Amino acid sequence: MIDFTNRDLFTPVIHPESGVTIYVLTRRVAPLQQGFYFVNSSMSDDGRYLWFYCAFPPSLGRTLGVVDFQTGEVRHFPETQFGGPYVAPETGFAYWMHGKSLWRRGPQADAEVEHLNEIPSELIGSRSAGSATHLTRSSDGKSFFIDMSVGLHYIYGSLPIDGSDFELWHRMDRNYNHAQFSPTDPDVALIAQEFHSDQITGLRLPITNRLWLLRRGEKPRPILREPKWVTHEWWDPDGEHVWCVWDKDTWRVRVSDGEVEKIAFPRHCWHSHSSHDGRLIVGDSNNGFYRGCASLVHFLNRDTGKVITLAEHAERHDYAGKNYHIDPHPRFVAQDRYVVFTTTVLGEIDVALVPVESLLEHTQ
């Protein structure tokens, strides 16, 4: 259990309207500390380890830090310059891609850094190559899903943790990214159509149909019944639905036939995330998106219909606001016991936590 009264770690901030107290991690190991992108949990399921992004402006590279709530230590690991980090919920170990290689280390100060696998050189050759958008682990625990740009192409496949061969699932000539393994089927992944900058013509192609399902050995297929530019998608734990955002609504979409359940928010929704049972939703919103724009973080209790504000963030026109993707990205972690997000309520770029139990008390 996290001791939120530990002022050596946290500064409590009470929202004046809702009365909710958030706890900002103010023990610093880097000038800029922020939460993960909401697709991946940053905390072990037992609540002991919380990982976060670290940055040292003006360097645009980011590395990982971790809080050990049992010992009260906060650590920074400069060797973890990453692409799409993943935290194993059962161990608290962090995995990340750097270039074509997959790495792992434990949260302890003296943990070994392990090189686990890499995309084969013959697949890349002398071409430029990007890294995975997010690392997500297969439901059987054996592989991570990879979406990677290679020259003018994009490749999709599974990279085993045990060092065995990368399996190429599919190749495309336009950008689909934000790939995520199904939480229940190791042969299925969600991919998202993204803006595509054509390297030959210089044209920028828009998103026309966002959500696609890719099954091993098959061509990708669209999930929605009609083409739609939705945003910020993630899997439901049941593996039968995916969630996404459209205007003021959060959508829960059935993968088999594209049926949509719409959950309304009080204002334009930017990102959102659901508890495992789908009854609780956190989200952030703005009045017009740009990097560093003003934002709010909300919590919706669908059982009571009540919505409260957790935090309000003033706009940031400075270098950090423009360059470090400081969107709040709220997410449920540690088996839905906490919500974690990026916050600027204290004038810095920080990580904040709030117990879900407190949010339920404020929305009865």
pLDDT tens for each residue of 157-214:
999 999 999 999 999 999 999 999 999 999 999 999 999 998 889 899 999 999 999 9
Looking at residues 322-336, what average pLDDT do you find?
96
Instruction: Look at residue 268 and tell me whether its pLDDT is greater than 80.
Output: no
Instruction: Look at residue 2 and tell me whether its pLDDT is greater than 90.
Output: yes
Residue 314 covered by a domain: no
Residue 54 covered by a domain: yes
Instruction: Quote the distance between the C-alpha of residue 259 and its chain's center.
Output: 25
Residue 14 covered by a domain: no
Tell me, what's the pLDDT at 84? 85
Over the stretch 214-231, which tens digit does the pLDDT of each residue have?
999 999 999 999 999 999
Residue 113 covered by a domain: yes
Q: With pLDDT > 90 as the criterion, what percentage of the chain qualifies?
A: 90
Over the stretch 22-41, which tens digit does the pLDDT of each residue have?
999 999 999 999 999 999 99
Average pLDDT of the chain is: 95
Instruction: Look at residue 344 and tell me whether its pLDDT is greater than 90.
Output: yes
Residue 102 covered by a domain: yes
Over the stretch 77-112, which tens digit does the pLDDT of each residue have?
999 998 889 999 999 999 999 989 999 999 999 999
Instruction: Look at residue 327 and tell me whether its pLDDT is greater than 90.
Output: yes
Instruction: Look at residue 20 and tell me whether its pLDDT is greater than 90.
Output: yes
Cα–Cα distance measured from residue 155 to residue 176, given in angstroms and rounded to the nearest whole number: 9
The closest of 267, 289, 210, 266 to 242, measured between CA atoms, is: 210
The DSSP element (H or E) to which 333 belongs, if any, is: strand 331-333
Where does the pLDDT of residue 247 fall: very low under 50, low under 70, confident under 90, or very high at 90 and above? confident
* CATH number of 59's domain: 2.130.10.10
Numbers of helices and strands, H then E, in the chain:
3, 30
Residue 160 covered by a domain: yes
Residue 250 covered by a domain: yes
Looking at residues 295-312, what average pLDDT do you find?
96
Residue 343 covered by a domain: no
For the chain, the domain total comes to 1
Residue 275 is part of which domain span?
Answer: 39-288
**DSSP state letter for 122:** H
